[in-house]
């Protein structure tokens, strides 16, 4: 491993988990509700490579430079709640939706010297040019929505948007005015995503749609790739809308709240049952401990008691289910059905039972 590879690996090893506990204000303007639902439900284990993680870090580092530049031209910038080192942040809809702004500023001529939300971004040249041509609402709608939410939560009428072109260091500024109607629509959209027990509508009926081609969830959405096993994809869990905004998730199976930390390691939970709409099979029967599915040829595939663990459900086919020897060995030795890819990685000499 050369030095650059070591630097990337270090970034990967020290990255925060990419699955955030709450739905973020920074993404609610995304056009695809299904993508937002998958994000909130941790449907995929998303991992960023070291180069990309460093790129995100570059964006954060630039914030300090932009704040410094504003201060030097007389803007009074507050990054934190007075007397603390805590960012201005908001948590709503039971604590499942929220965000933190980059700061508040006063003294900008463009907003009549009133207090405004400050939002800083960095952008590659081609996006920057489109921003200059069309403005933030049209060319960076997610940023526009994000600022609308911060203004609504902070009870302010203006946001000041300052963007750096990463290629040339040119700066772009725009003032965004508060839009109550949009704010209400965004809260409604977030509530729908958080309270839906099933994936929401796709942005397009065609998997070749340009947004689908760029989507991290393309595999689970269109290609029957395995959905991650964790509390958020489990039939037994519900996000609670509690008045103290604590972001609670309730597990009906164990009659308990499951903390974010425990949700992160819940792939090992023996009681996980998939939310049926996440699997590409027809539901035949269900009870508290198992769900019976029908494969296209009518073979039963049981998820849960008397059947298969959730992680095995993606590797089943009639041949595997009807292979008595395989299933007896699995029962006696506590085995797990895995994909041929996983099996070959573990031990290339072993027989591949299922070549799906």
3-class SS letters over 298-341 = CCEEEEECCCECHHHHHHCCHHHHHCHHHHHHHHHHCCCCCCHH
Contact between 236 and ligand SF4 per CB under 6 A = yes
- Of the pair 96, 236, the CB lying nearest ligand SF4 is at 236
Please state the closest distance from residue 37 (CB atom) to ligand SF4, in A.
8
**In the range 288-327, which residues lie near ligand SF4 by CB under 6 A?**
none
- Of the pair 164, 189, the CB lying nearest ligand SF4 is at 189
- Of the pair 9, 268, the CB lying nearest ligand SF4 is at 268
User: How far apart (Å, rounded) are the C-alpha atoms in residues 271 and 235?
Assistant: 10
- Of the pair 57, 204, the CB lying nearest ligand SF4 is at 204
Contact between 121 and ligand SF4 per CB under 6 A = no
Contact between 221 and ligand SF4 per CB under 6 A = yes
- Of the pair 176, 258, the CB lying nearest ligand SF4 is at 258
Contact between 251 and ligand SF4 per CB under 6 A = yes
When binding is defined by CB under 6 A, the residue of 215, 278, 279, 338 that contacts ligand SF4 is 215
Bridge partners for 161 per DSSP: 119, 174
* Part of the chain binding ligand SF4 (CB under 6 A), chosen from 106-114, 144-152, 204-212, 315-323: 204-212
When binding is defined by CB under 6 A, the residue of 178, 217, 293, 314 that contacts ligand SF4 is 217
* Part of the chain binding ligand SF4 (CB under 6 A), chosen from 114-122, 239-247, 264-272, 320-328: 264-272
Q: In sequence order, what DSSP letters do the residues of 1-58 get, joined into one string?
A: --HHHHHHHHHHHTPPPSS-SSEETTTTT-S-HHHHHHHHTT-S-----HHHHHHHHH
Q: How far is CA 255 from the centre of its chain?
A: 26
When binding is defined by CB under 6 A, the residue of 81, 254, 277, 345 that contacts ligand SF4 is 254
When binding is defined by CB under 6 A, the residue of 272, 275, 278, 312 that contacts ligand SF4 is 272
Instruction: Judge contact between 36 and 28, C-beta under 8 A.
Output: yes
- Of the pair 186, 221, the CB lying nearest ligand SF4 is at 221
Contact between 202 and ligand SF4 per CB under 6 A = yes
Which two tokens mark 91? 């948590």
Helix (H) or strand (E) holding 190: helix 180-195
Instruction: Judge contact between 224 and 280, C-beta under 8 A.
Output: yes
Instruction: Judge contact between 84 and 47, C-beta under 8 A.
Output: no
User: How far apart (Å, rounded) are the C-alpha atoms in residues 98 and 88?
Assistant: 11
Please state the closest distance from residue 293 (CB atom) to ligand SF4, in A.
18
Residue 25's contacts (CB-CB under 8 Å, 6 or more residues apart) are 90, 97, 98, 99, 145, 146, 149, 150
Question: Residues 254-270, buried b or exposed e (16+ Cβ, 10 A)?
Answer: eeeebeeeebeebeebe
- Of the pair 41, 121, the CB lying nearest ligand SF4 is at 41
**In the range 162-181, which residues lie near ligand SF4 by CB under 6 A?**
none
Residue closest to 153 by CA, chosen among 216, 88, 107, 198:
88
**In the range 36-55, which residues lie near ligand SF4 by CB under 6 A?**
38
Cα-based distances in Å from 225 to 26, 219, 279, 303? 27, 5, 10, 17
- Number of residues in contact with ligand SF4 under rule CB under 6 A: 26
When binding is defined by CB under 6 A, the residue of 92, 111, 194, 234 that contacts ligand SF4 is 234
Please state the closest distance from residue 94 (CB atom) to ligand SF4, in A.
17
Q: Which residues here bind ligand SF4, judged by CB under 6 A?
A: 32, 34-35, 38, 202-204, 211-212, 215, 217-218, 221-222, 231, 234, 236-237, 251, 253-254, 258, 266, 269, 271-272
């Amino acid at each position: 491993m050369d030095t650059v590879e070591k630097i990337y690996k270090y970034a990967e090893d020290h990255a925060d988990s990419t699955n955030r506990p709450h739905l973020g204000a920074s993404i609610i303007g995304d056009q695809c509700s299904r993508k937002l639902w998958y994000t909130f439900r941790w449907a995929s284990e998303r991992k960023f490579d070291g180069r990309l993680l460093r790129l995100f870090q570059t964006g954060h580092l630039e914030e300090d430079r932009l704040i410094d530049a504003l201060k030097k031209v007389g803007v009074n910038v507050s990054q934190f709640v007075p007397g603390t080192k805590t960012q201005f942040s908001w948590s709503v809809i039971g604590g499942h939706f929220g965000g933190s702004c980059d700061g508040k500023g006063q003294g900008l001529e463009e907003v009549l010297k009133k207090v405004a939300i400050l939002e800083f971004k960095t952008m590659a040249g081609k996006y920057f040019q489109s921003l200059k041509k069309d403005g933030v609402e049209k060319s960076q709608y997610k940023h526009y929505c994000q600022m609308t939410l911060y203004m609504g939560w902070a009870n302010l009428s203006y946001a000041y948007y300052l963007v750096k072109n990463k290629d040339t260091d040119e700066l772009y500024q725009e003032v965004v005015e508060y839009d109550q109607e949009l704010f209400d629509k965004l809260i409604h959209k977030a509530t729908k995503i958080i309270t839906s027990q099933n994936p929401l509508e796709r942005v397009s009926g065609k998997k070749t749609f340009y947004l689908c081609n760029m989507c991290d969830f393309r595999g689970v959405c269109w290609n029957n790739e395995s959905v991650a096993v964790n509390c958020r994809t489990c039939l037994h869990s519900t996000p609670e809308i509690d008045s103290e905004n604590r972001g609670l998730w309730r597990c009906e199976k164990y009659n308990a709240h499951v903390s974010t930390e425990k949700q992160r390691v819940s792939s090992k939970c023996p009681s996980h049952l998939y939310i049926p709409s996440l699997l590409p099979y027809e539901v035949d029967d269900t009870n508290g401990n198992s769900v019976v599915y029908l494969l296209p040829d009518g073979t039963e595939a049981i998820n849960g008691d008397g059947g298969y663990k959730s992680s095995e459900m993606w590797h089943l086919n009639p041949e595997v289910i009807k292979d008595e020897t395989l299933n007896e060995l699995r029962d006696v030795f506590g085995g797990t059905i895995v994909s041929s890819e996983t099996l070959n990685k573990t031990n290339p000499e072993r027989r591949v039972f299922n070549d799906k």
